[in-house]
Amino acid sequence: MNKSELIESMADASGLSKADTAKSLEAFTSIVTETLKNEDSVALIGFGTFLVKHRAERKGRNPQTGAEITISAANIPSFKAGKSLKDSVK
């Protein structure tokens, strides 16, 4: 399912117009993005939690030359599925 198909499904399920649904989805994604930028998490009980994980600096290898390189530390967005979501997918 792509974004436009998601908007169409959400509009059908909620009874809102596609334009209003698109605005709502855009607001949701921007709020989650801003929250993660501030290294906070967004928890939707039963669905899951959007959070930021810290990946430490580590050593790696250049696949072409085999030379050892240092891969910088990074903050990575992550999603942890909630119990209800996990159970519904089984």
Q: How confident is the model at residue 6 (pLDDT cuts 50, 70, 90)?
A: very high
**How would you label 30-39 residue by residue, b for 16+ Cβ within 10 Å and e otherwise?**
eebeeebeee
What the block records as the tokens of 19 is 């334009």
Q: How confident is the model at residue 28 (pLDDT cuts 50, 70, 90)?
A: very high
Class of domain 43-90: few secondary structures
Does 90 have pLDDT greater than 90?
no
For 42-61, what is each residue's pLDDT tens digit?
999 999 999 999 999 999 99
Q: What is the structure's pLDDT at 17?
A: 96
Average pLDDT over residues 75-87: 95
The pTM score is 0.80
